[in-house]
Amino acid sequence: MKDLKASDVMVRPVVAAKKNAQARDVALQLLDGLYSGMPVTDDNDAVIGVVSELDILDAVLKEKQLEKITAGEIMTPNPVTADVATPLADIVKLMKKKNIIRLPITAEGKLVGVVARCDILKTLIEPEFVTYM
């Protein structure tokens, strides 16, 4: 792991929402993509927030209609990000410290990928068993 960087593990292309995307559309994308959150970007592709399943559920609890609110209204602003050159060990430490499941990865301030905990595990672990169906 010591020689790996964010760029070696990140998933791309990355799906992100613009801040004016309907919360309903974000929810549908999360369900379709089988992930629990996504970055929100501005018009310059800079990461300005993250919308998670919990953000959407919180909006529903507040009786907001997902068709009438935007990603920008429900996102968690000022998210933690990492640069493509960040060592993987530093990403793991950051995820642990901040309790982050997936981390947006940037290059020159623009979103270029995402690293999730499972992406790191897939990179580090070579399975020693196979299931045949």
CATH number of the domain that residue 72 is part of: 3.10.580.10
Q: Tell whether 91 is covered by a domain.
A: yes
**pLDDT recorded at residue 42:** 96
Q: Tell whether 118 is covered by a domain.
A: yes
Quote the domain boundaries for residue 47.
Answer: 6-124
Q: Tell whether 130 is covered by a domain.
A: no
Sheet holding 76-77, edge to edge: 17-18, 37-41, 47-52, 76-77
User: What residues in the chain have per-residue pLDDT under 50?
Assistant: none
- Parallel, antiparallel or unpaired: strands 37-41 and 17-18: parallel
**pLDDT recorded at residue 33:** 81
Q: Tell whether 72 is covered by a domain.
A: yes
**pLDDT recorded at residue 129:** 63
- Predicted TM-score of the model (pTM): 0.88
The total of structural domains in the chain comes to 1
Q: Tell whether 133 is covered by a domain.
A: no
Q: Tell whether 131 is covered by a domain.
A: no
Distance, CA of 108 to CA of 83 (rounded, Å): 8
